[in-house]
C-alpha cells in the first residue's frame, strides 16, 4: 500500500496547532479538574449521608456516562444556557474539567482514605484542628500516593480530548478528520494523529516517573 | 452457582448474536443474477435520504439505484453498512469490499487514490442561514463562522473559500451536529447538500431558516461509485449504470425519493 | 483537692454494643493510674474518651474543671493539655524526627521555630535520641519510635499524658527503654493514665490500678492491694493468667 508522506508534510503546520490546542486544553482541564475534584472528594467524605449524595451523584454521572454525550450536553445545553450561544473553547475546558473532576475526586478520596487513621488521631491528639491535620499530616502523605493515579488520569484526559472533535474544537483529531475529508485517505491522517498522541503521552509518562521519584 | 454462571454465559452469547445481527444487515437482492459473478459493496448508512439505516435495514436512493444497476448487469451483490472509515480503507485495498456507494463526490484529489464510476448523481451544496441574515452568497461566508460536516464537499468548498486551517470553519462529525450548532448560535451558516438542507428546512419550519443557492461558487458536483485503483469492476458496471440512467429506471427511483424529475441529460454529459 | 480528671456515669456504644458501662473515676494531679484488663474489656476505649478520640453517648468527663461533653468546649484546647501515646506510635512518616516534635508547638501553640527546636532537642536528649533529630521515622527501631512519640507529646507541655498500650507493639528487648522513659516521667510528677499489659510497671510505678472487664471497672486499688489480695473473683482469674 502506498503511503503519502507528502500529504502529511502538507498538513504538518495545522497538526502542530492542533497539538498545542490539545496540550493547552488538557493542562487547564486537569488543573481545574483537580481543584474541583478535591472539593467533590471532600464532599463525598462528609460525615452525613445527606451531604454526601450530591457529590456521589456527580461522580457517578460523570464516570457512568460517555464523555461523548457529556461534550454534547455542555456544548448545546450548558454553554448556550449561560452564555447565549455555543462556544467551542468554553466547551472544551468545561466538559473536560467537569469530567476530570469526577475522576480526580475519586483519586483524592481513595488517597486520603488510604492514610492510616492513626495519623489523623495523632495529629488531633496534639491539639491540631481537623484542617491542620488534613493540611500538614494527611494531604502531604496522600498526595504522594496519588501521583501515579493522577498521572494516569492526565494521560487518559489527553487522549479523551480527541472527542472534542465532535464539536469542531481545533485539536489533533479535528485536523486529522479535515485531512481525511480532503483526500478520503485513512492511514495518513489517523496514524499521524496516533503518533502525536503517543509522543505526548509517552513524554508525559516519562515526566511523571521523574516526578514520582522526586516526591 | 454453576447454573447461574451457565445462564449468564448463554445470555451473554445471545446478546452478542443480537448485536452482530444488527451490524451485518446485508441486503442480498441480486435475484436474477445469471453470470455467477458477485461483488461486495460497502456504504456509510448515515446520510438520509441517500443511504441510511431503517432500524437494521439499509435504505435510500443509492441503495435502490445500485440494485437497479446490479440487476441490469446481472451481478450478485451484497451491500453492508460498514461506516465511512472502514468503507474507505477496505475499498482502497479492494480485498473485502470491491466498491463503495455512499454519496461520494468525485474530486481530482480523491482520484489520486481511488477510481470512480461515471457520475450517477448530480448535487450541489446549499447555504442555510437564519431568516434575516446578511449572508447572500458563498463569498459572504469568508469572515463568518460556518458549520459543515467534515470530509464532505461542503467542507472542501468552504476550505477553498475560508482557508483549510481557518478555525471559523467548524467541521462536525455529521450534518445533524452542524445544524444544531447553527440553531444554538455557534455558527452563522451551515453548508450542506441541497437535499439535506431542503429536507431540514421542510421538517423544521419553526426555526425560521432559509436556504441560499449559489450556482456561481457552488457548482454542480457528481457522485460516483468508489473503486480501488485499477479495478476491473469499473469497466463491467459503467455500461449498466449508463443503461439504467437512459432507460428511465433512474428517473423512476429519483422521483420516488425526491418527488421530481432528474436532469439525466446533464448527468450523462457530465464526465 | 479537686481531681484533674473527673469521669461520671460514662456510657459508650459502638452501634448497639455497649463497650463502656457507667464508668466513674477521679484522677488527681501527679497521679499515675494504670488500667489493666483482658483485650476487648473497653480499657483503650475508655482512654480514648478522655481526649474525645471516641465520643461517648452519655455521662460526663471534666478535665481541669472543663466539661468535654459541653458543646461549647473547644476540644482542640483540651487536647493541647492532654498528650497521647499510641500503640502504633503514629509518627508522621513524611517528616523528620525533629519536625515530628516541632510541628504541633509551632502550628498549635504558635511558638517561634527556634523555641520549638530548642524544646525538641531538650526532649530528644531526655529520651536519649539526640543523634536521631534529622532522620525520618522509617529508620528508627520500634523502641526509638515510641520514645520519639513520647517526646512529641511532651513538646506541647501537657498536664496529662495518656498511654494506650505503649509497649504492646514492641519487640521484648525494646520494652525496657520505653518503660524507663515513662518511669522518669512519673518520677517528675506527670499525671499519667496508662493502659498496659506490663504488670511489673503497674506494680512499680502505678499509684492506683483499675481492673476493667466487659466495659465496667470491676475493681480498683493500690497496686500492692489489687495484685496482692484482689477482692473480686474475676480479678483473681485475670491475674492468675497474666502473672
Q: How far is CA B56 from CA B52, B63, B69, in A?
A: 10, 14, 23
* Interface contact flag, A168 B147, Cβ < 8 Å: yes
pLDDT, position A84: 85
Return the closest-CA partner of residue A92 out of A4, A28, A7.
Answer: A28
Q: Is the dihedral of CA C227, C229, C232, C238 positive or negative?
A: positive
Average pLDDT over residues B183-208: 88
Q: Is the pLDDT of residue B30 over 50?
A: no
Which three-class secondary structure state does DSSP give residue B169? strand
Band (A86; pLDDT cuts 50, 70, 90) = confident
| CB contact B186 to A (< 8 Å) | yes
ipTM of the complex: 0.93
> Which residues on C lie below 8 Å from A127 (Cβ)?
76-77, 79-80, 104, 108-109, 156
Chain B residues with CB under 8 Å of A86 CB are 181, 184-187
Q: Cα separation of A69 and A73, whole Å? A: 6
For residue B1, the model assigns a pLDDT of 46
Q: What pLDDT sits at residue B27?
A: 47
Considering all CA atoms of chain C, what is the largest pairwise distance in Å, rounded to the nearest integer? 55
End-to-end CA distance of chain B: 68
- Determine whether the interchain pair B150/A181 forms a contact, defined as Cβ–Cβ distance below 8 Å: yes
Of B21-35, B98-112, B124-138, B179-193, the one with minimum mean pLDDT is: B21-35
Chosen from A117, A123, A126, A144 to mutate, greatest number of chain C CBs within 10 A: A126
Q: Are B137 and B216 in contact (CB under 8 A)?
A: yes
| Spatial contact of B167 and A170, defined as CB atoms under 8 Å apart | yes
| Alpha carbon of A180: minimum distance to chain B alpha carbons (Å) | 6
In this structure, the strands spanning B189-193 and C5-14 are unpaired
Q: How far apart are alpha carbons A201 and B82 in whole angstroms?
A: 31
Q: pLDDT by residue (tens digit) across C124-153?
A: 999 999 999 999 999 999 999 999 999 999
Using one digit for the tens of pLDDT, what is the confidence trace for A164-207?
A: 988 889 899 988 888 887 787 888 999 999 999 999 999 999 99
Residue of A75, A76, A170 lying closest to B167 (CB–CB): A170
Exposed, middle or buried by CB within 10 Å (0-12, 13-18, 19+), for A70? Answer: buried
Q: Do A167 and B104 touch (CB under 8 A)?
A: no
The beta-carbon neighbor of C156 closest among A124, A127, A144 is A127
Q: Do A121 and C83 touch (CB under 8 A)?
A: no
The span from the CA of A194 to the CA of A103, in Å, is 24
Alpha helices (H) in chain C, listed in sequence order: 43-49, 75-81, 97-107, 113-126, 142-154, 172-187, 199-205, 223-228, 233-242
Chain C's closest residue to A118, CA to CA, is C90
pLDDT of amino acid B11 = 67
pLDDT at B21: 45
Q: Do B and C share at least 3 CB pairs under 8 Å?
A: no
Cβ-defined contact of B186 to A84 (cutoff 8 Å) = no
Q: Please name the helix (run of DSSP H) or strand (run of DSSP E) that holds residue A206, with its range, or none.
A: helix A187-214
Rounded average pLDDT over A39-60: 94
Check whether A57 has a pLDDT greater than 60: yes
Q: Is the pLDDT of residue B122 over 60?
A: yes
For the segment B266-270, the average pLDDT, to the nearest whole number, is: 87
Question: How do residues C57-106 score in pLDDT, each as one tens digit?
Answer: 999 999 999 999 998 999 999 999 999 999 999 999 999 999 999 999 99
pLDDT (0 to 100) of residue A1: 56
Q: Which of B19-23, B205-209, B265-269, C224-228 has the lowest average pLDDT?
A: B19-23
Give percent of chain B with pLDDT exceeding 70.
Answer: 87
In angstroms, rounded to a whole number, what is the distance separating the alpha carbons of residues A186 and A192?
10
What is the full DSSP assignment across A114-129?
TS-HHHHHHHHHTT--
Of B164, B263, B250, B253, give the one whose Cα is nearest residue B220: B263
Q: pLDDT per residue over C4-50, tens digit each?
A: 999 999 999 999 999 999 999 999 999 999 999 999 899 999 999 99
- At residue B158, the pLDDT reads 93
**pLDDT for res B35:** 54
Which residue is closest to A189 within chain B, CA to CA?
A: B85
Residue B36 pLDDT class (50, 70, 90 cuts): confident
pLDDT for position C150: 97
- Cβ contact A125–C84 (<8 Å): yes
pTM: 0.78
Q: What is the pLDDT of residues A5-30, one digit of tens each?
A: 998 998 899 999 999 999 999 999 99
Tell which residue, A169, C3, C22, has the closest CA to residue B186. A169
pLDDT in tens, B215-227: 889 988 899 999 9
pLDDT of residue B7: 66
Residues from chain B that touch A68, judged by Cβ atoms under 8 A, are none
Chain A contact probe: residue of C77, C89, C90 with most A CBs at under 10 A: C90
| pLDDT band at residue B13 under the 50/70/90 scheme | low
Lowest mean pLDDT among A22-31, A77-86, C99-108, C181-190: A77-86
What average pLDDT does chain A have? 92
CB B200 within 8 A of CB B79: no
Among A30-44, B10-24, B118-132, the least confident range: B10-24
Q: What percent of chain B has pLDDT over 90?
A: 52
Amino acid at each position: 500500500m502506498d503511503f503519502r508522506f507528502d500529504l502529511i508534510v502538507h498538513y504538518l503546520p495545522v497538526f502542530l496547532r492542533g497539538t498545542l490546542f490539545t496540550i493547552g486544553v488538557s493542562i487547564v482541564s486537569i488543573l481545574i479538574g483537580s481543584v474541583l475534584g478535591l472539593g467533590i472528594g471532600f464532599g463525598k467524605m462528609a460525615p452525613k449521608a445527606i451531604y454526601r449524595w450530591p457529590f456521589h451523584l456527580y461522580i457517578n454521572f460523570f464516570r457512568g456516562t460517555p464523555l461523548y454525550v457529556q461534550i454534547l450536553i455542555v456544548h448545546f445545553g450548558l454553554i448556550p444556557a449561560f452564555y447565549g450561544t455555543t462556544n467551542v473553547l468554553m466547551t472544551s475546558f468545561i466538559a473536560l474539567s467537569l469530567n476530570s473532576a469526577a475522576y480526580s475526586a475519586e483519586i483524592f478520596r481513595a488517597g486520603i482514605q488510604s492514610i492510616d487513621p492513626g495519623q489523623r488521631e495523632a495529629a488531633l491528639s496534639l491539639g491540631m484542628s481537623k484542617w491542620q491535620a488534613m493540611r500538614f499530616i494527611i494531604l502531604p502523605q496522600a498526595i504522594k500516593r496519588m501521583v501515579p493515579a493522577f498521572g494516569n488520569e492526565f494521560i487518559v484526559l489527553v487522549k479523551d480530548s480527541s472527542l472534542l472533535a465532535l464539536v469542531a474544537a481545533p485539536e489533533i483529531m479535528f485536523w486529522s478528520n479535515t485531512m481525511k475529508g480532503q483526500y478520503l485517505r485513512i492511514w495518513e491522517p489517523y496514524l499521524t494523529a496516533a503518533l502525536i498522541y503517543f509522543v505526548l503521552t509517552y513524554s508525559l509518562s516519562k515526566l511523571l516517573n521523574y516526578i514520582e521519584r522526586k516526591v | 452457582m454453576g447454573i447461574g454462571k451457565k445462564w449468564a454465559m448463554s445470555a451473554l452469547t445471545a446478546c452478542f448474536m443480537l448485536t452482530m445481527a444488527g451490524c451485518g444487515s446485508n441486503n442480498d437482492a441480486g435475484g436474477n443474477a445469471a453470470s455467477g459473478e458477485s461483488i461486495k459493496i460497502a456504504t456509510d448508512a448515515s446520510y438520509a435520504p441517500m443511504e441510511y439505516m431503517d432500524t437494521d435495514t439499509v435504505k435510500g436512493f443509492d441503495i435502490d439505484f445500485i440494485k437497479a444497476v446490479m440487476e441490469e448487469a446481472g451481478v450478485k451483490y451484497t451491500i453492508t453498512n460498514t461506516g465511512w472509515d472502514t468503507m474507505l480503507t477496505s475499498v482502497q485495498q479492494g480485498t473485502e469490499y470491491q466498491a463503495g456507494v455512499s454519496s461520494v463526490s468525485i474530486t481530482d484529489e480523491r482520484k489520486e487514490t481511488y477510481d470512480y464510476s461515471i457520475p450517477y448523481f448530480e448535487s450541489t451544496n446549499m447555504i442555510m442561514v437564519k431568516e434575516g441574515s446578511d449572508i447572500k452568497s458563498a463569498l459572504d461566508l469568508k469572515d463568518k463562522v460556518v458549520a459543515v460536516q467534515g470530509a464532505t464537499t461542503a467542507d472542501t468548498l468552504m476550505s477553498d473559500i475560508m482557508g483549510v486551517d481557518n478555525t471559523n470553519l467548524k467541521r462536525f462529525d455529521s450534518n445533524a451536529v452542524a445544524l444544531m450548532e447553527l440553531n444554538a448560535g455557534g455558527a452563522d451558516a451551515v453548508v450542506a447538500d441541497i437535499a439535506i438542507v431542503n429536507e431540514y428546512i421542510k421538517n423544521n419550519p419553526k426555526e425560521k431558516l432559509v436556504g441560499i443557492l449559489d450556482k456561481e461558487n457552488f457548482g454542480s458536483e457528481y457522485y460516483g461509485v468508489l473503486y480501488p485503483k485499477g479495478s476491473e469492476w469499473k469497466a463491467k458496471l459503467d455500461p449498466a449504470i449508463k443503461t439504467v440512467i437512459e432507460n428511465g429506471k433512474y428517473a423512476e427511483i429519483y422521483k420516488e425519493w425526491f418527488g421530481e424529475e432528474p436532469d439525466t441529460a446533464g448527468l450523462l454529459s457530465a464526465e | 483537692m479537686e481531681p484533674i480528671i473527673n469521669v461520671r456515669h460514662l456510657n459508650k456504644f459502638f452501634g448497639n454494643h455497649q463497650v463502656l458501662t457507667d464508668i466513674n473515676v477521679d484522677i488527681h494531679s501527679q497521679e499515675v493510674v494504670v488500667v489493666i484488663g483482658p483485650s476487648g474489656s473497653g480499657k483503650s476505649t475508655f482512654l480514648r474518651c478522655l481526649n474525645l478520640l471516641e465520643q461517648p453517648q452519655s455521662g460526663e468527663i471534666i478535665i481541669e474543671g472543663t466539661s468535654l461533653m459541653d458543646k461549647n468546649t473547644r476540644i482542640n484546647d483540651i487536647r493541647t493539655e492532654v498528650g497521647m501515646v499510641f500503640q502504633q506510635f503514629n509518627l508522621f512518616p513524611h517528616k523528620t524526627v525533629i519536625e515530628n516534635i516541632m510541628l504541633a508547638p509551632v502550628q498549635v501553640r504558635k511558638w517561634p521555630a527556634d523555641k520549638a527546636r530548642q524544646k525538641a532537642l531538650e526532649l530528644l536528649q531526655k529520651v536519649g535520641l539526640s543523634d536521631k533529630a534529622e532522620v525520618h521515622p522509617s529508620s528508627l527501631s520500634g523502641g526509638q519510635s515510641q520514645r520519639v512519640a513520647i517526646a512529641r507529646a511532651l513538646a506541647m507541655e501537657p498536664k496529662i499524658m495518656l498511654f494506650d498500650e505503649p509497649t504492646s507493639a514492641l519487640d521484648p528487648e525494646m520494652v525496657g527503654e520505653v518503660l524507663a522513659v515513662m518511669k522518669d516521667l512519673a518520677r517528675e510528677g506527670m499525671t499519667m493514665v496508662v493502659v498496659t499489659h506490663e504488670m511489673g510497671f503497674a506494680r512499680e510505678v502505678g499509684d492506683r490500678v483499675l481492673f476493667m472487664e466487659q466495659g465496667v471497672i470491676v475493681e480498683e486499688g493500690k497496686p500492692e492491694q489489687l495484685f496482692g489480695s484482689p477482692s473480686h473473683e474475676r480479678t483473681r482469674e485475670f491475674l492468675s493468667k497474666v502473672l
